[in-house]
Amino acid sequence: MKKITLFLMMLFFLGTVQMFAQGCMEPASDEGVSVIGFLQPEFQMHETADGWNNSFAFRRARIGVTGNIPYDFSYYAIVDFSKFMPDAPFLLDAFISYNRFSFAKITLGQYKPPFSQELSTACHKLYTINRSKVVNELALPNRDQGLMVWGSVLDSKINYNVALMNGYRRGFYDENNNKAIVGRVTIQPWEVLRFGGSFRKGVTGSASDNDVTRFAGEVQLDWKGFIMQAEYIWGEDTGSYTTGGGCDGTPIEIHEGPITRSGMYAQLLYMTPWNLQPVVKFETYDGDTTADNNLETIITAGVNYFFNDWTRFQINYSYRAEEANEIPNDCLLVQMQVTF
């Protein structure tokens, strides 16, 4: 608890993006129901030891509703119908918020835990098609149930989210009587600069065998069309732990701990006058900080083209290198996106 208290104090004095409730979209108006969603069909090429495999697929196919209820309440619910997800269709988000006070709003239901700059970014607003490996590995679960207090102060220069959650995964009862505390604080002292951090502390497992600790620090610079974004995540598990999963990861595998892991990403973008946005992303992930030659490096280069406010085209090539034993696992992704 002393570590968490110290970290929170540092965040408030150090203090990225303005935070809302954990939904990806806002209501179109203050009255009635807004139908929301997005489609992400794509073409995938993955390198293997036997050559390149390719296929058309759906990254996501989501539809839902959101709206405001007089007075001071709002609701949000969305379902993912993509059959390329292991258990689709499934209820992704479903929560109710009380919005009377801007400095202390309340959300109850199922939503993204308020951890990590990139995890908090809506899926249809990511700069690259894949989320970073460190986020997919250490920011889990990507959906959870709980109660969150969130808000902003000082003309939205300081934003915070603090949640009491099961600490397990979407659509399931908690496996134990412990709860996870998850939080994120960001500060925007100037229009071009935002920075902050996240934490998570809790127990996962039916036998209460895994004490999970996570810390993250983030920064974003946005100046004259240039965007630089970076984040570092550190995690410790005392018992069994999982790998894979996340918003874009493979099905979860369970391993025996204890273990300490860490990683980072940094990306640079520039929005040209022709609605074309080149992006370069560098990321590292260390799946066991106590082991030697364990670092994984991923370099992604791509372009985003915006036809309009609702339609986007993306191309990404990711080069992946393993420090101990490099394997053929690069990928080429081409995605079309429409939001509504």
| Cβ neighbours of 299 (radius 10 Å) | 14
Q: 249 or 337, which is more confident?
A: 337
Predicted confidence (pLDDT) per residue in 12-38, tens digit: 333 333 344 567 777 666 778 999 999
pLDDT band at 5 (very low <50, low <70, confident <90, very high): very low
| Per-residue model confidence (pLDDT) at position 93 | 96
- Rounded to an integer, the average pLDDT of 119-135 is 96
**Lowest mean per-residue pLDDT among 104-108, 168-172, 195-199:** 168-172
Looking at the domain assignment, is residue 223 inside a domain? yes
CA-to-CA distance for 117 and 12, rounded, in angstroms?
A: 16
| Per-residue model confidence (pLDDT) at position 282 | 98
Q: Is the pLDDT of residue 278 over 70?
A: yes
Q: Is the pLDDT of residue 10 over 50?
A: no
Looking at the domain assignment, is residue 75 inside a domain? no
Domain of 212, CATH number, reads 2.40.160.10
Q: Is the pLDDT of residue 6 over 70?
A: no
| Per-residue model confidence (pLDDT) at position 253 | 80
- Rounded to an integer, the average pLDDT of 164-170 is 90
Looking at the domain assignment, is residue 288 inside a domain? yes
The domain of 176 spans 2-15+37-59+116-339
Contact 162, 150 (CB under 8 A): yes
End-to-end Cα separation, the chain, in angstroms: 43
Looking at the domain assignment, is residue 227 inside a domain? yes
Q: Is the pLDDT of residue 321 over 80?
A: yes
| Per-residue model confidence (pLDDT) at position 255 | 83
CA nearest neighbour of 340 among 61, 59, 41: 61
- Rounded to an integer, the average pLDDT of 324-336 is 95
Predicted confidence (pLDDT) per residue in 72-97, tens digit: 999 999 999 998 887 889 999 999 99
Looking at the domain assignment, is residue 286 inside a domain? yes
Question: Average model confidence (pLDDT) for the chain?
Answer: 90
- Rounded to an integer, the average pLDDT of 176-204 is 95
| Per-residue model confidence (pLDDT) at position 85 | 81
Predicted confidence (pLDDT) per residue in 279-305, tens digit: 999 999 999 999 999 999 999 999 999
Looking at the domain assignment, is residue 108 inside a domain? no
Looking at the domain assignment, is residue 69 inside a domain? no
Predicted confidence (pLDDT) per residue in 48-67, tens digit: 999 999 999 999 999 999 99
Q: 176 or 285, which is more confident?
A: 285
Looking at the domain assignment, is residue 131 inside a domain? yes
Number of domains in the chain: 1
